[in-house]
A and B are shown apart, each in its own frame.
Chain A
Amino acid sequence: MNLASPWALSLAALAVPLVAAYLYRRHDARRTVPSAILLRAILDPRPPSRRARAQLRHRASLALIALALAAGILALAGPGAGSTRATRTVIVLDRSASMATHDRDGERLARA
């Protein structure tokens, strides 16, 4: 297999900040606060089972985004079956009347 645009593979580096952002969110940065008493008003009221499901959803979303990124990069890279395959090129000539015009360098159609 060959690639039409191998440079596209360098876009895989985009996965690094993506995964880092997800891991940072999961890692939970610790900060010291005066007191936790007022924060109890916003404690996560969900039971542990629901919190576990939320974590699973979080990881699944990371996997889906990574998959979409990989598919995009692959499409941009343009993978091919082999190196010997002929390339079709279409050449279109304009044969309208204006092409019969003679310029300083000769007839336009002849030059085309």
Chain B
Amino acid sequence: MRIDRALFRGLDALRVAAPHRSTGARPGDRRSRVRGRGVDLADFRPYAPGDDLRLVDWSAFARLEAVLVRLFHEDRDLAIAVVVDASASMGFGAPRKLDHAGELAACLAFLALRSRERVRIAIAGPRGGSVRGDHAGALPAIVRALERAEAGGTVDLAAALAAEAERGRADHAVLLTDLLVEPEVREATLLRLAALARRPVLLHVLGDCELAPDLRDGVLVDSETGEQVSVRDSRAARRDYAAGLARWCAEIEARCGELAIAYAPAFTTVPARALIAGELRRRQITEATRGGGR
């Protein structure tokens, strides 16, 4: 796969949305829970020995005869973890679902690195691996890692998310997958995703092979499990498939809602850049930078 660098054109005015306060340790642009030095006043507290005298509110002392120090909201950075499913099922579709997921992950990395945030990309698959960056210069290495990704075999997404949790703290965790797994595996994956970060996000990557599959007579063989399903092409079969697909997507979205996971369909029918600036922004997964966007 080749990720065209023109993909990032027009995304300059966006960044990853952060509805929660950052828990980052490094200075950044996101409001954090930490109170100390900053710009926006948060609170006052009585002076204690060792406090910086520059923080004493002398006007309050003149009015109240109490020595109070000013506390400010500190701005910290965000840590974003992105996990890309590279199981065999992601290798299907035109364009391939894995290529589409790679482009979305590259766009998210671009948004994060432009805002001086830390990003980790993990590829869960046969040629998997992890790459991280905290400045704009790290983007080429991340893009190359995504370009090298190959789809194949089965992937234990819950284990991949657990491994990601061990790599370090993350404010945002974004999982890009088609989630074509058994219900119990899906549940374990969603639970693990919900526990990985304060802002878990599921980008549900489906392609034409799911949205408009070839249902002509024959035996259809599962690429990962080898399960065989005999189908007879008919109007009723197509109707039942469409209803089943809608029900399945609705179930996943509802379960994500229960687990406070931000869900967004990321179908290959819409280009990655349009998704980042459109659907993901509507769902408050991305947002305009201060003074940018519309």
Interface residues of A (CB under 8 A from B): 25, 28-44
**Considering only CB atoms, which chain B residue lies closest to A26 in the complex?**
B217
B214 adjacent to chain A (CB < 8 Å): yes
Interface of B is mostly: mixed
Q: Can you name 27 A-B pairs with beta carbons within 8 Å?
A: A28-B218, A29-B216, A30-B220, A31-B219, A33-B92, A33-B220, A33-B223, A34-B88, A34-B92, A34-B97, A34-B180, A34-B222, A34-B224, A35-B178, A35-B224, A36-B220, A37-B180, A37-B182, A37-B248, A38-B241, A39-B231, A41-B245, A41-B247, A42-B240, A42-B244, A43-B229, A44-B232
The answer to whether B229 and A28 touch across the interface, beta carbons within 8 angstroms, is: no
Q: Tell me which residues across on chain A come within 8 A of B97, comparing CB atoms.
A: 34
B21-33 interface bits toward A, Cβ cutoff 8 Å, 1 = contact, 0 = none: 0000000000000
Q: Kindly identify which residue among A35, A41, A42, A43 contacts B89, using a CB–CB cutoff of 8 Å.
A: A35
**Considering only CB atoms, which chain B residue lies closest to A30 in the complex?**
B219
Interface residues of B (CB under 8 A from A): 88-93, 97, 178, 180-182, 207, 209-210, 213-225, 227-232, 237, 240-241, 243-245, 247-248
The answer to whether A39 and B229 touch across the interface, beta carbons within 8 angstroms, is: yes
The answer to whether A32 and B221 touch across the interface, beta carbons within 8 angstroms, is: yes
Distance in angstroms from A107 CB to nearest chain B CB is: 72
**Considering only CB atoms, which chain B residue lies closest to A39 in the complex?**
B229
**Considering only CB atoms, which chain A residue lies closest to B244 in the complex?**
A41
Docked Cα-Cα span, A32 to B224, in Å, equals 10
Q: Tell me which residues across on chain A come within 8 A of B219, comparing CB atoms.
A: 28-31
Docked Cα-Cα span, A44 to B229, in Å, equals 9
Q: Tell me which residues across on chain A come within 8 A of B224, comparing CB atoms.
A: 34-35
Docked Cα-Cα span, A32 to B226, in Å, equals 9
The answer to whether A33 and B230 touch across the interface, beta carbons within 8 angstroms, is: no
The answer to whether B209 and A33 touch across the interface, beta carbons within 8 angstroms, is: yes
Please give 20 more A-B residue pairs, beta carbons under 8 A apart, in addition to A34-B93, A38-B213, A39-B241: A25-B217, A29-B219, A30-B219, A30-B228, A31-B214, A31-B218, A34-B180, A34-B223, A35-B180, A35-B223, A35-B224, A36-B227, A37-B181, A38-B180, A38-B210, A41-B241, A41-B245, A42-B231, A42-B240, A42-B241
Q: Kindly identify which residue among B222, B230, B232, B240 contacts A35, using a CB–CB cutoff of 8 Å.
A: B222
The answer to whether B218 and A29 touch across the interface, beta carbons within 8 angstroms, is: yes
Q: Tell me which residues across on chain A come within 8 A of B247, comparing CB atoms.
A: 41
Known contacts A34-B223, A36-B229; A42 and B209 CB within 8 A of each other: no
Distance in angstroms from B139 CB to nearest chain A CB is: 30
Docked Cα-Cα span, A76 to B284, in Å, equals 74
Docked Cα-Cα span, A41 to B247, in Å, equals 10
Q: Tell me which residues across on chain B come within 8 A of A30, comparing CB atoms.
A: 218-221, 228
Known contacts A38-B248, A41-B243; A29 and B217 CB within 8 A of each other: yes
Docked Cα-Cα span, A31 to B213, in Å, equals 11
Q: Tell me which residues across on chain B come within 8 A of A32, comparing CB atoms.
A: 220-221, 223
Docked Cα-Cα span, A35 to B217, in Å, equals 17
The answer to whether A33 and B221 touch across the interface, beta carbons within 8 angstroms, is: yes
The answer to whether B230 and A28 touch across the interface, beta carbons within 8 angstroms, is: yes
Distance in angstroms from A64 CB to nearest chain B CB is: 21
Q: Tell me which residues across on chain A come within 8 A of B213, comparing CB atoms.
A: 33, 38-39
Docked Cα-Cα span, A38 to B245, in Å, equals 6
The answer to whether B227 and A34 touch across the interface, beta carbons within 8 angstroms, is: no
